[in-house]
Amino acid sequence: MIKITPDDIQEKRFPVRFRGFDIREVDLFLEKLSEAFESLTIENGNLKDKIDRLNLEGEGYKKREEIFKRAILNSQKVLDQMKQNAQKSAELIIAEAEVNAEKILNRVHNRLAQLHEDIAELKRQRMQIEVQIRSILESHTKLLDIEKEDIKASDSSDDKVKIFNRPS
């Protein structure tokens, strides 16, 4: 591509020939063409600057987009990790609760077994006490019966003595 500047257009001179172009018109046309070309060159430069700015902005947006994408991915990873940690924590809490519940159940079962043993022991002791009380009652009843007989015997011997000791 040939680079032509507005100055190149203005400085261009064509050789004059017989029956050639009107030099003034050619010069006027070249001058208008030079101005239009200069205007287009300036506009082209401005557009190139604008394209460069837009490209820079686009790169900035792309960089920000990448940063946002990375931030979103990192946030998602953090959220996933938090979910996993919460799940693990919940599982540990549940496992610990199950172990504690099992321990409590074992203590309750042991306590229940101990209470059953205590109740059985108390029943056995009650029966022993009842047997001992009956035995004591029977012993005392026998003693009372013996005492009664002794009193009767003593009364009857006292009656006999009274009969013999009566004044006649």
Burial class (CB in 10 A: 0-12, 13-18, 19+), 155: exposed
For 46-83, the pLDDT digits (tens) are 999 999 999 999 999 999 999 999 999 999 999 999 99
Band (pLDDT 50/70/90 cuts) for residue 160 is low
Note the pLDDT of residue 150.
Answer: 85
CB-based contact 68:47 (threshold 8 Å): no
Alpha-carbon distance of 59 to 67, in angstroms, equals 12
Cα–Cα distance for residue pair 8/2, rounded to 1 Å: 11
Residue 131: burial class (beta carbons within 10 Å; 0-12, 13-18, 19+): exposed
Q: How far apart are the first and last CA of the chain?
A: 188
Burial bucket for residue 33 (CB in 10 Å: 0-12, 13-18, 19+):
middle
* pLDDT tens digits along 117-133: 999 999 999 999 999 99
Q: Calculate mean pLDDT across residues 15-29.
A: 77
Q: Tell me the average pLDDT across 35-46.
A: 90
Neighbours of 38 (CB within 10 A): 15
pTM of the full structure: 0.43
Give the pLDDT band (50/70/90) at residue 11.
Answer: confident
- Residue 16's nearest CA partner among 25, 6, 7 is 25
Q: Is the pLDDT of residue 152 over 90?
A: no
Q: How far apart are CA 37 and CA 2, in angstroms?
A: 14
**Domain boundaries defined on the chain:** 6-121
